[in-house]
Amino acid sequence: MATRWVRAALVSPSVLLRASRSGRVLPKCAPVFSARLASTAASPSLLKPAEDDLVADAADAVEVVEAEENENSDLGKDQPKFESLAGKISRDTLNAITRIFKLETMSPVQAAVLPLLPEIAEPYQPDHEHARDLLVKAKTGTGKTLGFLIPAVEARMKALDAAGKQAVLDAGLKNDKHIELRARRALSRETAGCLILSPTRELATQIANEALRLTSRHDSFEVRLFVGGSSKRMQMRDWMKGRRDIVVSTPGRMRDLLENEPEVAKGMKECKMFILDEADTLLEMGFREDIQAIASYLAPTPERQTFLFSATVSREIQQIARATLDKKHHFIDCVPADASPVHAHIPQYHTILPDASKQIPHILRLLAHDQLLHPGKSKTIIFLPTTRMTQLFSTFLRELTSMCLPAGRQTKVYEIHSKRTMESRSKTSQMFRQDKGPAVLISSDVSARGVDYPGVTRVIQVGIPSTSDQYIHRVGRTGRGKDQIGRADLVLLPWEMGFVTWQLTDITLKPVTVTELASQVKQLCEERNPEKAVILDDMEKEVTSLMSKLEPEAIRETLGAQLGFYMGKTDQLRVQKSVIVEGLKQWTVEACGLAEPPYVSEAFLQKLGFSDGRTKRFGSASRQSYKPSGGPAWTQRGNVQHNRERMAGERRDSERERRSGSFGDRGSSFGDRGSRGSFGDRERGDGSSYRSSYGSRDREGGSFGGRREGGSYGGSREGGSREDRPPRSFGDRSSTRRESF
């Protein structure tokens, strides 16, 4: 069994491992598989061709570790225990792992990295031959955060001890606790011990909180968090007054501080440990130059120790590895060569809606389906492509969950997107993380990668994700941890079907129709909760009633955001731009209840890059449907004559449309005015918007129906009336010095 030979390797490495150039051997890493797929063998394999170059160039690399899985193994069985690290790591760190994290058994990634202690935590010595740098290929959700935090904490403790002892020797003494303590204090307040770069604020905050928990048993150990969206002045104040043991940051904020704050550059000059988490994501987000610039401010290699964690080892990752890692390093591969790009144990479904009017009811049925399958424990994340859509759907679901779902008012709705303050996002993230359910998090892609939400039973993606990789990372928010219960649903409009056909070819998605899901929900309700059947029967009536209360201006601005998102997606969808424009316009009528589609000017579309050079106008406010007779819209994507006929009537009504709030011409048209904050983009200090709720137009203050106070996006029901509030987190200014993010 794979898990068994990991333990055997720790006891008798000569049996299963080959020696490295330096004589150091490295345990192989067992990949993570679900119990139901444990019988699927993943045979050992050589590195992929893209990885061969890196190994060839790094001729002194210590060890290449390949993942292996034997048949009939159970995840976690016979994995090494954390207690096996006794004597290799400090007692305080071990106590935090076993008593605060309440962990007993290492994950496969941890089992591959942590046995390298204490060597990889020792201070740099030029005459030492053992490798100290790591390149680890591991997926998210595999326990890698503790895999790099434990060595980082231990390295800092050893550096402090070494500084204290050296100060005593420099004074010509054998022992002097006062000199030793003074030297330790000076190092802790003048020099950063470790810098961890993370691609997003949310993931950086999560890592910082994990570091705080891990170091809670260490005396006076402190963690600094540098991210955008928070006060730089307050971050600098803490930097100047506090310790600098562990520093967690996003690349943009760290580079800004290094280039513009001399005290930060001075404190980082002798930083001896550099960790890149989610390195592939960092590169995808365009942070390569930032990483290289930041590395130039730190201690040089090999004096500086570098850990690089990535889900893939592409050529771009290889280039960063060559630039940052010592040639003598460990390479640990925890992803088998034939592993699925998505956690294969997660059932994945897709629905092509017959029309946009079914969108909200279908999503409500997916939520009801999950609540019936997991009564009292349902936790769902709904991902949407834009911030405007996230705000709109948050309003929809806040108003509809109490009337349309089995859990009713017990369902708590959370909202995270880029227009909310960092403090608000952190608070919401923490509350959803601690919520045991029933709960729904409606999010843009700020929660798509790396952020860990325990107990998520389902992920619903509405509309296409930005890339197929983003689809994978979104799905990865469910089915995590030891229980590994999860499901993923992708809900698309007819013209979005090409994303499944062309972009998700390597992923098995089972189709489920609107009718099939409705039948499944009805059957589940009859079996498990018959008294809720009436609520489900009235679902579409409640949705229709809500549509009449939405403000047209909010819908038009959401349409503008959607047009901006889909601007560059024609190649992925394999449809013409005019099909996308007409599809989104019809969505405002069928899904949002507008009487007629908004007019979208040619000038506005050209600004977005939508002009196809073949039609003078896109759409008409007077035309109620863009779908041609005889088939769905995407079947006509090559029919020029059809497109011309479909657009023919708009010139007659153009003047009237412009006077009635059109897109992109003049007056109140979209794109030529400042932000009006119509759905919560202007926030007060408490995070609530000036308007009551996204798109509501018939109430003053409060949200739909006036049932809750301060009914702005995300602010009205987060936390509800429950007494179980989350612990203080990083950024809570009312906390003490050991506050968490």
578/530 same-domain check: no
Asked if residue 182 lies in contact with residue 167, where contact means CB atoms within 8 angstroms, the answer is: yes
In a domain, 96, yes or no: yes
Three-class SS of 278-325: CHHHHHHCCCHHHHHHHHHHCCCCCCCEEEEEECCCCHHHHHHHHHHC
Say if residue 217 is exposed, middle or buried (CB neighbours under 10 Å; 0-12, 13-18, 19+). middle
Residue after which a domain boundary falls, among 602, 632, 659: 659
491/560 same-domain check: no
The pLDDT tens digits for 497-519 are 999 999 998 888 999 999 999 99
Selected residue with higher pLDDT from 737 and 561 = 561
405/511 same-domain check: yes
When computed from its CA atoms, the radius of gyration of the chain, rounded to whole angstroms, is: 28
Q: What is the pLDDT of residue 729?
A: 53
Cα–Cα dist 8/28, whole Å: 11
Q: Rounded to the nearest 10 degrees, how much is the dihedral formed by the CA atoms of 445, 447, 449, 451? A: 170
* Coil, strand or helix at 319: helix
Average pLDDT score, the chain = 76
In a domain, 726, yes or no: no
Residue 610 carries which DSSP code? -
Residue after which a domain boundary falls, among 618, 637, 659: 659
Among residues 487, 550, 525, the alpha carbon closest in space to that of 404 is found at 525
pLDDT of 309 > 50? The answer is: yes
Straight-line distance from the first to the last Cα atom of the chain, in angstroms, rounded to the nearest whole number: 40
Selected residue with higher pLDDT from 373 and 659 = 373
606/518 same-domain check: no
Chain Cα centroid distance, residue 641? 44
Selected residue with higher pLDDT from 29 and 109 = 109
Q: What is the pLDDT of residue 449?
A: 67
At residue 293, what is the residue type? Answer: A
541/557 same-domain check: no
pLDDT of 728 > 50? The answer is: no
pLDDT of 693 > 90? The answer is: no
- Residue 640's pLDDT band, with cuts at 50, 70 and 90, is very low
Q: What is the pLDDT of residue 451?
A: 74
Residue 420: give the domain boundaries: 348-547
Residue after which a domain boundary falls, among 520, 547, 574: 547
pLDDT of 477 > 60? The answer is: yes
84/206 same-domain check: yes
292/263 same-domain check: yes
User: Domain with 250 in it: what CATH number?
Assistant: 3.40.50.300
Asked if residue 5 lies in contact with residue 69, where contact means CB atoms within 8 angstroms, the answer is: no
Helix and strand tally (H, E) in the chain?
A: 28, 15
Q: What is the pLDDT of residue 510?
A: 94
In a domain, 716, yes or no: no
* Coil, strand or helix at 277: coil
Task: Specify which residues 275 forms β-bridges with.
Answer: 196, 307
